[in-house]
Amino acid sequence: MKNIKLLFLLIFMTSLAACGQQKKYVSYTVKKGETIKSIAKDNDIKVRDLLRLNPDVSRKPDANTVIIIPNKKKEEVTTTSTDTYKGKYHTVQSKETLFGIAKKYEVSVDDLKSANNLNGNNVSVGRQLKIPAKKEVEVVEIPTDVVVEDVDVKEIGVDTHIVEKGDTVFNITRRYNISEEDLMAMNPTLNTIGLKLGMFLIVGEKEYVVENLFVDDITSKPMNIVLMLPYKLNSTNDVNTEFEKNSSLLNIVTDFHSGVLIAIDSLKQQGMRINLKVVDTENSTSKISSILNENNFDDVDAVIGPLFLKNAKLVAKKVGSIPVIAPVYSKSQTYTSEGSLVKVAPNKNLTEDKLINYMLDNYSGENIIIAGDSGTKSVAEISRIAARLKSHDSISKVTILKPEKGYIKKDRFIKAIDTISERKKWILFIGEDGVTANDVVNNLGVISKKTATIQLFSFDNGAHFSNVSNNQLARLQFTYPVEEFVDVTNDAVVNFRKKYRKKYYSDPTKYAIKGFDVTYDTLLRLSSFDTFNEGAKAGVSHRVGTKFDYSKKLFGSTENNGVFLIQYQEDLNLKVLD
């Protein structure tokens, strides 16, 4: 009986998790005899909207073609509380601000502060905030004679929006970054009849750069690409260790696919001819083997995927010299090698090399201190890194500070830093303990800049820095390496996010960005050179969140060495040093 109760509990929790992860769009495999028109009718969507979501699919797609359709079962999930409040809650994450949270939920900062009895603008990590209801204008049905259908946006030269359920004047102005006054001026009928479902709105002048996210030299050579992802998942296979906990593999696949489509659309706008074939691997080696045996890959220029490295390696073995792009990191990739395999995610040792090489290249007599926790793994790493630094001809001394009775006293820092000396102080934090990391930053933060110029380094900005003040990190010019970095101020990034939101009505996830980056960079290198290997040697490129710096081993796979080095600036912005 106890086991039966436990089983029902697990089923119930799984159902809750699935509901929490539902998305606005899901993948759908076309059945024999189905057309875009019949699928659109079954899913209550217009044919032109369905084609817009799937620009590379014909009106009569082949059976087993994978497309994206609206998720009928998408429901809004709200978090309940023991108090009388029945609305949404938000748990504050590291580095979030009230402004960012208010923008996310499309409410004002003042309303957010009022709902949570906040006086200042600071909010602690982990606090649950009540999200006030939006101040909405109710959207009602519009008479059919007011709706504008089939408008050629490119001809009239403006950006447009068709009002759907849930839209308000507030969220439309925020989505397109315009004022309410400008929206009313461009759409005078709003002042007379208000916001109506299906209403056609002008929301700004056409920004053609959104269509072409990067400006590149495009050849007319046609590209034949196969995208291999696991859409239909066997329940025994729907378990993975390559991604974060609580990630839905189906959501990841759908997000990645959406990024691929944005990349292809952008390149087509610039004149590239691309044929895309989508194949469902079901995350099954037997299914992949069947696909490889039943299909001719002679005319294929590249295979993007499969998602898991072991499956990508299987494909690479079968397709000869055709590049097989493994898009995400795997713990086993250091030991995985196959001639045509292209590993996009850098190996973890490259982040260490990036930081150490920067320190060695820029060393000019700084006082170096390594501070860390007392964990067995950290102690071993501290000793190894200290030896590596001292192997440099000019570095003779590296001071090591470890906790005593659970913490590092302030006077030990002051003594080690030697505030009398005018030399700059470099502090390298090594460890995984958040308490020690917080202790180190706080002790360094109270030392006057007049007595010591301090720069803080670490091999990552992980969870151990989650409760550390960003102001302190900026004061210490915190510097760290990272495999992925999205510069939200970059024009190409801004345009990508605009284009993505316009097509999918949501912000791109890290997997959507990865889908775009991998596809765009792969196709560009292929179109410009006879082989991918030649294109890989052409140089370093930066896309939305990925740096591509390929090097070909004497034997084995092509690997990406692209790692960013990031530094906090005094204004809290993040600067890419390299």
CA distance 162 to 144: 13
The pTM for the full model equals 0.63
Q: What are the domain boundaries of the chain?
A: 140-206, 223-345+490-559, 350-482
Please report which confidence band the pLDDT of residue 220 belongs to, taking 50, 70 and 90 as the band edges: low
> CATH fold of 140-206, please?
Membrane-bound Lytic Murein Transglycosylase D; Chain A (3.10.350)
Determine the pLDDT at residue 95.
67
Q: What CATH architecture is 350-482?
A: 3-Layer(aba) Sandwich (3.40)
Determine the pLDDT at residue 216.
53
CA distance 179 to 162: 18
* pLDDT tens, position by position, 108-152: 777 888 888 877 667 777 778 888 886 543 333 333 333 333 333
- The least confident of 217-226, 275-284, 379-388 is 217-226
* pLDDT tens, position by position, 505-552: 888 889 999 999 999 999 988 888 888 888 888 888 888 999 998 875
CA distance 297 to 302: 9
Determine the pLDDT at residue 364.
86
* 437 membership: H or E segment, kind and range: helix 434-445
Closest Cα to residue 70, out of 108, 104, 39, 35? 39
Determine the pLDDT at residue 512.
92
* pLDDT tens, position by position, 394-449: 888 888 888 777 677 777 777 777 665 667 888 898 888 777 788 788 778 777 67
> CATH fold of 223-345+490-559, please?
Rossmann fold (3.40.50)
Determine the pLDDT at residue 555.
52
Contact by Cβ (8 Å): 211, 140: no
DSSP line for 332-344: TGGG---TTEEE-
Token code pair at residue 483: 């495999």
Determine the pLDDT at residue 565.
92
Place of tokens 């083997």: 289
Please report which confidence band the pLDDT of residue 188 belongs to, taking 50, 70 and 90 as the band edges: confident
Whether 223-345+490-559 shares its CATH topology with 350-482 is answered yes
CA distance 512 to 506: 11
42-76 b/e (C-beta count within 10 Å ≥ 16 → b): eeeeeeeebbebbebbeeebeeebbbbbbbeeeee
